[in-house]
Amino acid sequence: MDLRHLKYFLAVAETRNFTQAAASCYVAQSALSQQIARLEKDVGARLFSRTSRSVRLTAAGELLEPLARRILADVDNAQAALDALSGLRRGRLRLGLLQTRASSVDLVEVMADYHARYPGIDFHVTNAPSAEMAAAVLAGDLDIAVVGLGPRQVPEGLDHFVLDGDPLVLVVPADHAFADGGDVVDLADLPESHQLIQFTQGSGLRRQVEAAFARAGVEPGRHFQVGQIQDMVRLAARGIGVTVVPRSSLFGGDGVPGEGEVGSQDPDQGGSQGSDRAAGPLAGPLPYGARALRIADEAAVHTICVVHDSKRLAPAGAAFLEVVERHAVRS
């Protein structure tokens, strides 16, 4: 079985189109079709069901797809291991990063530090929902992923360590019943008619918010989905509903809006990222006078984990873990 045949097979499996697959592989469509036919002959089964309008995987194709991904990932890791003998002078790191800023560890600084140490390693960074990235690590499509999942939510078969825990806060509009109350609220006290502005389905944040409502013994209520935390907060401020977001997406470690955060009015004002982010008042302005309130549930935390598969982690990935852990100790 030729590895090139497996790459062509995966290209067709991903695009469901021979023309697009050939273009992505930089080969003629006729050549790609011939190589797929040879692969089908080698495995003794048809891999694709083709009509004039569609291309679908057969049962054999569905069986081969995850195996092909693992085979090619193992080949890449073997090459990376050989590269390690030359001091990590070249190679590739496929890194998944969560879509929210929710960690006291600055991952941009981590990547910059890593690149300074190993300039020959190329980064391939993916931003996707946490569950999707964890599955990609398990399948061998990513080497490491920083995800918003708690230890019990990490898929079986993956190694992990907790990078940080970011308290969740409830954002309400200025005229909400909670706005003139105390700084701490119980989700169970929300009116049944409330509308909840939720983050992307499958994201770690979405899972943590839904778990917090489940612990409170209440349904999240009517909701709609938004893909940007800043938009979630602004919509809540305008009275569309309420939302639950990581505290660090609003404030720095001292409770004051920092650079790039929702409440920031001065782009040159930086917010420190201290480890005790649950302490101190939730100070600083939010859009349209909205309020950010602590949630009484101490388990309402957006946990950040670094996940990997130690059985197949290449030296480039192991070196990245060392850099991440070094930064985590400093924070």
Q: pLDDT by residue (tens digit) across 103-155? A: 678 888 999 999 998 888 888 999 888 889 999 999 999 999 999 888 888 99
Q: What is the mean pLDDT of residues 310-330?
A: 87
CATH code for the domain defined by 3-65: 1.10.10.10
Averaged pLDDT of the chain:
83
Residue 200: predicted pLDDT: 85
Measure the CA–CA gap between 282 and 251, rounded to whole angstroms: 8
CATH code for the domain defined by 165-301: 3.40.190.10
Q: pLDDT by residue (tens digit) across 48-66? A: 998 878 899 999 999 999 9
Q: Please list, residue by residue across 222-241, b when 16 or more beta carbons sit within 10 angstroms of its beta carbon and e when fewer do.
A: ebeebeebeebbbbbbeeeb
Residue 297: predicted pLDDT: 94
Measure the CA–CA gap between 26 and 309, rounded to whole angstroms: 31
Q: pLDDT by residue (tens digit) across 193-212? A: 788 999 988 888 898 999 99
Identify the CATH homologous superfamily for domain 67-163+304-330.
Answer: Periplasmic binding protein-like II (3.40.190.10)
CB 42 within 8 A of CB 5: yes
Q: pLDDT by residue (tens digit) across 163-183? A: 888 899 999 999 888 888 778
At residue 96, what is the residue type? G
Residue 309: predicted pLDDT: 94
Q: What is the mean pLDDT of residues 311-331?
A: 86
The residues of the chain that CATH labels 1.10.10.10 are 3-65
Measure the CA–CA gap between 92 and 77, rounded to whole angstroms: 9
The residues of the chain that CATH labels 3.40.190.10 are 67-163+304-330, 165-301
Using a cut of 0.75, tell me whether the model's pTM lies above it.
no
C-beta neighbour count of 81 within 10 angstroms: 15
Q: pLDDT by residue (tens digit) across 219-251? A: 877 778 898 888 999 999 999 999 999 988 886
Residue 262: predicted pLDDT: 53
E-strand ranges in 152-262 read: 159-172, 184-185, 195-198, 222-225, 242-246
Residue 131 CA: distances (Å) to CA of 66, 154, 161, 170: 17, 8, 16, 23
